[in-house]
Structure 1
Amino acid sequence: MKTVELENIVWKEGKYHVARCLNVEVSSFGESKEEALTNLQEALELYFEDEDSINLVSVESPEIVATTLKYA
Protein backbone atom coordinates (compact mmCIF):
# COMPACT_ATOMS: atom_id res chain seq x y z
CA MET A 1 0.00 0.00 0.00
CA LYS A 2 1.29 3.46 -0.97
CA THR A 3 1.08 6.66 1.07
CA VAL A 4 0.78 10.25 -0.15
CA GLU A 5 0.59 13.56 1.73
CA LEU A 6 -2.19 15.87 0.51
CA GLU A 7 -3.06 19.49 1.32
CA ASN A 8 -6.75 20.20 1.91
CA ILE A 9 -8.80 23.32 2.60
CA VAL A 10 -12.18 23.61 4.32
CA TRP A 11 -14.62 26.53 4.33
CA LYS A 12 -18.23 27.25 5.25
CA GLU A 13 -20.64 27.78 2.35
CA GLY A 14 -24.22 28.40 3.44
CA LYS A 15 -25.21 25.67 5.88
CA TYR A 16 -22.52 23.25 4.64
CA HIS A 17 -18.77 22.93 4.98
CA VAL A 18 -16.83 22.31 1.76
CA ALA A 19 -13.54 20.41 1.75
CA ARG A 20 -11.24 20.50 -1.28
CA CYS A 21 -7.92 18.87 -1.98
CA LEU A 22 -5.42 21.36 -3.36
CA ASN A 23 -3.26 18.69 -5.01
CA VAL A 24 -5.98 17.16 -7.23
CA GLU A 25 -9.43 18.31 -8.38
CA VAL A 26 -11.46 16.48 -5.72
CA SER A 27 -13.88 18.03 -3.25
CA SER A 28 -16.76 17.07 -1.00
CA PHE A 29 -19.03 18.60 1.63
CA GLY A 30 -20.80 17.91 4.91
CA GLU A 31 -22.87 19.52 7.63
CA SER A 32 -19.75 19.92 9.80
CA LYS A 33 -16.04 20.41 9.15
CA GLU A 34 -15.34 16.88 10.35
CA GLU A 35 -18.03 15.39 8.09
CA ALA A 36 -16.73 17.34 5.09
CA LEU A 37 -13.18 16.07 5.72
CA THR A 38 -14.39 12.49 6.23
CA ASN A 39 -16.34 12.69 2.95
CA LEU A 40 -13.30 14.17 1.19
CA GLN A 41 -11.13 11.31 2.49
CA GLU A 42 -13.58 8.80 1.01
CA ALA A 43 -13.72 10.69 -2.30
CA LEU A 44 -9.91 10.79 -2.47
CA GLU A 45 -9.66 7.06 -1.74
CA LEU A 46 -12.07 6.37 -4.62
CA TYR A 47 -10.19 8.81 -6.89
CA PHE A 48 -6.85 7.07 -6.31
CA GLU A 49 -8.26 3.54 -6.09
CA ASP A 50 -7.25 2.41 -9.59
CA GLU A 51 -4.34 4.78 -10.19
CA ASP A 52 -0.94 3.18 -10.82
CA SER A 53 0.83 6.53 -10.83
CA ILE A 54 -0.35 9.70 -9.14
CA ASN A 55 0.09 13.15 -10.68
CA LEU A 56 -0.13 15.74 -7.92
CA VAL A 57 0.12 19.50 -8.00
CA SER A 58 2.76 20.55 -5.48
CA VAL A 59 1.37 23.08 -2.99
CA GLU A 60 3.82 25.09 -0.93
CA SER A 61 2.74 27.73 1.59
CA PRO A 62 -0.88 28.16 0.46
CA GLU A 63 -2.29 31.59 1.27
CA ILE A 64 -5.76 33.11 1.02
CA VAL A 65 -5.59 36.35 -0.95
CA ALA A 66 -8.61 38.59 -1.56
CA THR A 67 -9.12 40.30 -4.89
CA THR A 68 -11.71 42.70 -6.30
CA LEU A 69 -13.20 42.03 -9.71
CA LYS A 70 -15.42 44.34 -11.75
CA TYR A 71 -17.82 42.61 -14.12
CA ALA A 72 -20.81 43.46 -16.27
Structure 2
Amino acid sequence: MADKNLDYYLSLPYTITLMPDTVSGGYVATINELPGCITQGENVEEAIRMIEDAKRGWIEVALEDGQDIPEPARAEDFSGKFNVRVPKSLHRTLVEKAKEEGVSLNQYINYQLARSVGTGRETESIR
Protein backbone atom coordinates (compact mmCIF):
# COMPACT_ATOMS: atom_id res chain seq x y z
CA MET A 1 0.00 0.00 0.00
CA ALA A 2 1.72 3.16 -1.20
CA ASP A 3 -0.32 5.67 0.83
CA LYS A 4 -0.55 4.38 4.38
CA ASN A 5 -3.08 6.39 6.35
CA LEU A 6 -4.66 6.29 9.80
CA ASP A 7 -7.27 3.70 8.80
CA TYR A 8 -4.53 1.43 7.43
CA TYR A 9 -2.56 1.47 10.67
CA LEU A 10 -5.67 1.12 12.85
CA SER A 11 -6.60 -2.03 10.91
CA LEU A 12 -3.30 -3.77 11.74
CA PRO A 13 -3.20 -6.47 14.45
CA TYR A 14 -0.97 -4.73 16.98
CA THR A 15 -0.13 -6.68 20.14
CA ILE A 16 -1.77 -5.38 23.30
CA THR A 17 -0.20 -6.39 26.61
CA LEU A 18 -2.26 -6.17 29.80
CA MET A 19 -0.64 -6.19 33.24
CA PRO A 20 -2.29 -5.89 36.63
CA ASP A 21 -1.34 -2.61 38.30
CA THR A 22 -0.21 -3.81 41.71
CA VAL A 23 0.26 -0.25 43.04
CA SER A 24 -3.00 1.51 42.24
CA GLY A 25 -5.17 -1.38 41.05
CA GLY A 26 -6.74 -1.95 37.69
CA TYR A 27 -4.74 -2.79 34.58
CA VAL A 28 -1.99 -1.20 32.54
CA ALA A 29 -2.20 -1.68 28.77
CA THR A 30 0.57 -1.17 26.23
CA ILE A 31 1.03 -1.77 22.54
CA ASN A 32 4.31 -3.61 22.14
CA GLU A 33 5.16 -2.27 18.69
CA LEU A 34 4.42 1.41 19.49
CA PRO A 35 6.97 2.73 22.01
CA GLY A 36 5.35 4.77 24.76
CA CYS A 37 1.79 3.82 23.80
CA ILE A 38 0.49 3.07 27.29
CA THR A 39 -2.65 3.62 29.35
CA GLN A 40 -4.57 2.08 32.19
CA GLY A 41 -8.12 1.22 33.19
CA GLU A 42 -9.99 0.05 36.25
CA ASN A 43 -10.77 -3.31 34.60
CA VAL A 44 -9.71 -5.29 31.53
CA GLU A 45 -12.50 -3.97 29.33
CA GLU A 46 -11.75 -0.35 30.18
CA ALA A 47 -8.00 -0.86 29.69
CA ILE A 48 -8.60 -2.33 26.22
CA ARG A 49 -10.95 0.52 25.31
CA MET A 50 -8.40 3.06 26.57
CA ILE A 51 -5.46 1.48 24.69
CA GLU A 52 -7.43 1.60 21.43
CA ASP A 53 -7.88 5.35 22.01
CA ALA A 54 -4.19 5.73 22.91
CA LYS A 55 -3.21 3.80 19.75
CA ARG A 56 -5.28 6.16 17.60
CA GLY A 57 -3.63 9.20 19.22
CA TRP A 58 -0.14 7.71 18.95
CA ILE A 59 -0.57 6.97 15.24
CA GLU A 60 -2.18 10.35 14.48
CA VAL A 61 0.73 12.23 16.06
CA ALA A 62 3.30 10.02 14.29
CA LEU A 63 1.60 10.64 10.92
CA GLU A 64 1.43 14.40 11.54
CA ASP A 65 5.13 14.46 12.49
CA GLY A 66 6.15 12.29 9.52
CA GLN A 67 7.58 9.60 11.82
CA ASP A 68 7.97 5.98 10.82
CA ILE A 69 5.23 3.84 12.30
CA PRO A 70 6.22 0.29 13.19
CA GLU A 71 3.97 -2.44 11.89
CA PRO A 72 3.29 -5.67 13.78
CA ALA A 73 5.22 -8.76 12.81
CA ARG A 74 3.34 -11.18 10.58
CA ALA A 75 3.03 -14.90 11.30
CA GLU A 76 5.01 -15.64 8.15
CA ASP A 77 7.94 -13.66 9.63
CA PHE A 78 8.52 -16.58 12.01
CA SER A 79 9.61 -19.94 10.62
CA GLY A 80 9.74 -21.75 13.94
CA LYS A 81 13.43 -22.42 13.39
CA PHE A 82 16.52 -20.73 14.75
CA ASN A 83 20.11 -21.74 15.39
CA VAL A 84 21.77 -21.33 18.76
CA ARG A 85 25.43 -21.84 19.53
CA VAL A 86 26.06 -23.12 23.05
CA PRO A 87 29.17 -24.19 24.92
CA LYS A 88 30.11 -27.85 24.48
CA SER A 89 29.52 -28.48 28.18
CA LEU A 90 25.93 -27.20 27.94
CA HIS A 91 25.34 -29.25 24.80
CA ARG A 92 26.52 -32.35 26.64
CA THR A 93 24.28 -31.60 29.65
CA LEU A 94 21.24 -31.05 27.42
CA VAL A 95 21.87 -34.31 25.54
CA GLU A 96 22.21 -36.19 28.84
CA LYS A 97 19.00 -34.68 30.25
CA ALA A 98 17.11 -35.50 27.06
CA LYS A 99 18.29 -39.13 27.27
CA GLU A 100 17.20 -39.29 30.92
CA GLU A 101 13.73 -38.14 29.87
CA GLY A 102 13.65 -40.49 26.87
CA VAL A 103 13.07 -37.71 24.35
CA SER A 104 15.03 -36.15 21.52
CA LEU A 105 17.30 -33.20 22.18
CA ASN A 106 14.96 -31.03 20.09
CA GLN A 107 11.91 -32.07 22.14
CA TYR A 108 13.74 -31.51 25.42
CA ILE A 109 14.93 -28.02 24.47
CA ASN A 110 11.49 -27.12 23.10
CA TYR A 111 9.88 -28.21 26.39
CA GLN A 112 12.39 -26.27 28.51
CA LEU A 113 11.98 -23.10 26.43
CA ALA A 114 8.18 -23.29 26.59
CA ARG A 115 8.29 -23.93 30.33
CA SER A 116 10.64 -21.01 30.89
CA VAL A 117 8.65 -18.53 28.80
CA GLY A 118 5.36 -19.46 30.46
CA THR A 119 6.61 -19.26 34.04
CA GLY A 120 6.09 -16.23 36.24
CA ARG A 121 4.52 -13.99 33.63
CA GLU A 122 1.65 -11.93 34.86
CA THR A 123 1.00 -10.30 31.52
CA GLU A 124 -1.40 -11.21 28.79
CA SER A 125 -0.88 -10.38 25.12
CA ILE A 126 -3.78 -9.93 22.74
CA ARG A 127 -3.63 -9.70 18.96
Q: Same fold by TM (over 0.5)? A: yes
**Alignment: residue pair count:** 65
Percent identity over the alignment? 15
Name 1:30's counterpart in structure 2.
41
Q: Is the 8 Å Cα contact of residues 24 and 57 (structure 1) preserved in structure 2? A: no
Instruction: Map Cα deviations across residues 27-63 of structure 1 (whole Å, 9 max, x no partner).
Output: 11010011011111000001112416522464879x5
- Give the secondary-structure state (helix, strand or coil) at the position aligned to 1:42: helix
- Give the secondary-structure state (helix, strand or coil) at the position aligned to 1:47: helix
Structure 2: distance between partners of 1:27 and 1:59: 22
1:65–1:27 Cα change, 3 Å: farther
Q: What TM-score do you get using the length of structure 1 for normalisation?
A: 0.69
Which among 52, 55, 70 is matched to residue 55 of structure 1? 70
Q: Is the 8 Å Cα contact of residues 15 and 72 (structure 2) preserved in structure 1? A: no
Residues 1-72 of structure 1: pairs in structure 2 closer than 5 A? 1-2=7-8, 3-14=11-22, 15-25=25-35, 26-50=37-61, 51=63, 53-56=68-71, 58=73, 63=117
Q: Is the 8 Å Cα contact of residues 22 and 59 (structure 1) preserved in structure 2? A: no
Q: Name the Cα RMSD after superposition.
A: 2.6
Instruction: State the structure with bigger RCO (CA 8 A, min sep 6), 1 or 2.
Output: 2
Higher helix share: 2
Gaps of 5+ in 1: 67-72
Gaps of 5+ in 2: 1-6, 79-116, 121-127
Name 2:4's counterpart in structure 1.
none
Q: Is the 8 Å Cα contact of residues 7 and 59 (structure 1) preserved in structure 2? A: no
